[in-house]
């Protein structure tokens, strides 16, 4: 038995899927502007508009399903209901105190459900497990790209939990797609051409996710004998160098005092602002020692952020009287080890060479298995 040629797939569905995915990724810098404009124009109806748009999209999808399903109704409607139950269950489990955040996350299900459907249609002729695995991998690549771009630009958030949210949305979209257009048979043994496609796309998805995780979530723990510990994306020596560089640069060319959405986010400034917010919240809550130690982190590692106005505001440095009061009260508050909780997203102080070794070894195995040819028989 030989591998045989790979099945040629129609190009038009791929063009539509890739174009839609690119539009989703490249729209990331503008989404914040659009939301702000909608919020400003309709302040009392903003959440209703977001939820209503998602609801209309879901209603349209359900109407299309009802129109398409003419046979095997139990199995096909069962797949759609399962997808909806997973979406509702995950949304309930992952709900937050912020109604706006919840509404935006619900909208993600619509976006990535559409991405899953379009890639499913592109690979639908395969009629083996590739029709499920390949759209899942393609959706992960799109998700990693979008979340990285959101991390890259100011005032947007990109982190691994959002990639996981998108993965759930992709899974729900695939179940919905199967319900709308369920193949008569899905072979669990992929054809050789499908196996090669899976191997290539699995490697691409692994690289995309690993690069995203490396950039956004790998970092360092700074242990300071005076303060305690805090996490940062920068090596300790690099953090101090950045402090000197920003102090010199911002003295003559300070950051903009208005938010420039189409620009690269200054992650050093962002980290400093997180410590300022944490310091202020701890002070307001009466946790004086924690507030004082957060302030010492700022003074020792993010001093330019304290002194320099930016789009995040100005006047962040404590007045001398407040600083002295905090210092004296903190000295009497105990000496337990302090661990800053300022950064809202996890930073993992893992060895980067070890991380990439753990990533690349399985990738090499997947590539080897997926691209090997069967022996002639």
Say if residue 186's pLDDT is above 70: yes
Residue-level pLDDT at 123: 95
Q: What tokens were used for 174?
A: 């695939």
Partnered with residue 229 across adjacent β-strands are: 223, 339
- What is residue 132's predicted lDDT score, i.e. its pLDDT? 95
pLDDT, residue 377, reads 44
Beta 220-224 vs 228-232: how paired, if at all? Answer: antiparallel
Give me the pLDDT at residue 2, please. 40
> Rounded CA gap, 351 and 218, in Å?
8
Output the 3-class SS for 327-365: HHHHHCCCCCCCECCCCCCCCECCCHHHHHHHHHHHHHH
Q: Is the pLDDT of residue 183 over 50?
A: yes
Identify the residue with better confidence: 286 or 375.
Answer: 286
CA distance 292 to 334: 12
Q: What is the DSSP letter of 214?
A: H
Question: Are 139 and 112 a contacting pair, CB within 8 Å?
Answer: yes
Confidence (pLDDT) at 45: 79
Partners of 128 in the beta sheet? 187
Instruction: Classify burial at 290, counting beta carbons within 10 Å of its beta carbon; exposed 0-12, middle 13-18, buried 19 or more.
Output: buried
pLDDT of residue 5 exceeding 60, the answer is no
For residue 178, count other CB atoms closer than 10 A to its CB. Answer: 22
- Mutual angle of helices 236-252 and 267-284, in 10-degree steps: 100
Three-class DSSP category at 294: helix
Token match 């003559």: residue? 252
- Report pLDDT digits (tens) over 198-225: 999 999 999 999 999 999 999 999 999 9
Determine what percent of the chain is predicted with pLDDT higher than 70: 97
Q: How far is 204 from 200, CA to CA, in rounded Å?
A: 6
Rounded to 5 degrees, φ, ψ at 189 are -100, 105
Half-sphere exposure of 228 (CA within 13 A, CB side): 17
Q: What is the pLDDT of residue 41?
A: 82
Confidence band of 105 (pLDDT split at 50, 70, 90): confident
Give the confidence band of 6 by pLDDT, cuts at 50, 70, 90: low
Reported confidence tier of residue 373, pLDDT bands at 50, 70, 90: low
The domains of the chain are located at 11-218, 221-349
d(CA 302, CA 40): 33
Backbone angles phi, psi at 222, to 5 degrees: -95, 120
373, burial (CB in 10 Å: exposed 0-12, middle 13-18, buried 19+)? exposed
In the chain the first and final C-alpha atoms are separated, in Å, by 4
Structure-block tokens of residue 325: 């009061």
- Can you tell me the mean pLDDT for 342-348? 90
Q: What is the DSSP string of 241-264?
A: HHHHHHHHHHHHSPPPSS--SSS-
Q: Report which secondary-structure segment, H or E, holds 87.
A: helix 73-93
Least reliable range by pLDDT among 11-15, 192-196, 227-231, 240-244 = 192-196
More confident: 342 or 373:
342
pLDDT: which is higher, 104 or 206: 206
Q: Which residue has the tokens 């997947």?
A: 366
Tell me how long the chain is: 377
Per-residue pLDDT at 1 = 35
pLDDT of residue 375: 53
CB atoms near residue 206 (< 10 Å) = 20
What is the largest distance, in Å, between two alpha-carbon atoms of the chain?
Answer: 86
User: If pLDDT is split at 50, 70 and 90, which confidence band does 279 have?
Assistant: very high
Helix (H/G/I), strand (E/B), else coil: 218 = strand
Q: Which residues contact 307 (CB under 8 A, 6 or more apart)?
A: 316, 317
Hey, what are 313's tokens? 């505001």
Q: Answer yes or no: pTM beyond 0.85.
A: yes
Q: Is the pLDDT of residue 261 over 80?
A: no
């Amino acid at each position: 038995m030989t591998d045989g040629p790979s099945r040629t797939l129609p190009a038009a569905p791929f063009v539509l899927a890739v174009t839609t995915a690119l539009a989703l990724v490249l729209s990331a810098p503008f989404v914040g502007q659009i939301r702000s404009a909608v919020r400003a124009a309709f302040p009392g109806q903003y959440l209703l508009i977001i939820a209503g748009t998602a609801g209309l999209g879901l209603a349209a999808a359900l109407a299309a399903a009802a129109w398409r399903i003419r046979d095997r109704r139990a199995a096909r409607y069962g797949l759609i209901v399962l997808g909806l139950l997973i979406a509702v269950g995950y949304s309930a489990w992952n709900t937050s105190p912020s109604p706006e955040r919840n509404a935006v996350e619900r909208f993600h299900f619509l976006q990535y459900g559409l991405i899953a459907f379009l890639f499913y249609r592109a690979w639908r002729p395969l009629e083996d497990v590739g029709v499920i695995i390949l759209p899942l991998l393609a959706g992960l690549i799109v998700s990693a790209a979008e979340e990285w771009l959101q991390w890259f630009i100011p005032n947007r958030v990109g982190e691994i939990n959002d990639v996981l949210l998108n993965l759930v949305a992709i899974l729900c979209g695939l179940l919905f797609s199967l319900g709308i257009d369920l193949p008569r048979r899905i072979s669990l043994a992929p054809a050789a051409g499908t196996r090669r496609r899976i191997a290539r796309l699995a490697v691409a998805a692994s690289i995309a996710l690993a690069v995203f995780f490396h950039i956004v979530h790998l970092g360092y723990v700074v242990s300071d004998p005076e303060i305690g510990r805090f996490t940062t994306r920068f090596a300790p020596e690099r953090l101090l160098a950045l402090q000197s560089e920003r102090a010199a640069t911002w003295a003559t060319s300070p950051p903009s005092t208005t938010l420039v959405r189409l620009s690269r986010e200054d992650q050093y400034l962002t980290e400093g602002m997180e410590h300022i917010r944490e310091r202020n919240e701890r002070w307001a809550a009466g946790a004086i020692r924690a507030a004082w130690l957060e302030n010492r982190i700022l003074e020792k590692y993010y001093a330019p952020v304290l002194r320099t106005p930016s789009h995040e505001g100005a006047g962040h440095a404590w007045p001398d009287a407040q600083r002295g009061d905090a210092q004296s009260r903190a000295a009497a508050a105990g000496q337990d080890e302090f661990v800053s909780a300022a950064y809202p997203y996890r930073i993992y102080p893992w060895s980067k060479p070890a991380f990439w070794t753990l990533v690349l070894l399985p990738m090499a195995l997947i590539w080897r298995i997926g691209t090997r040819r069967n022996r002639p028989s």
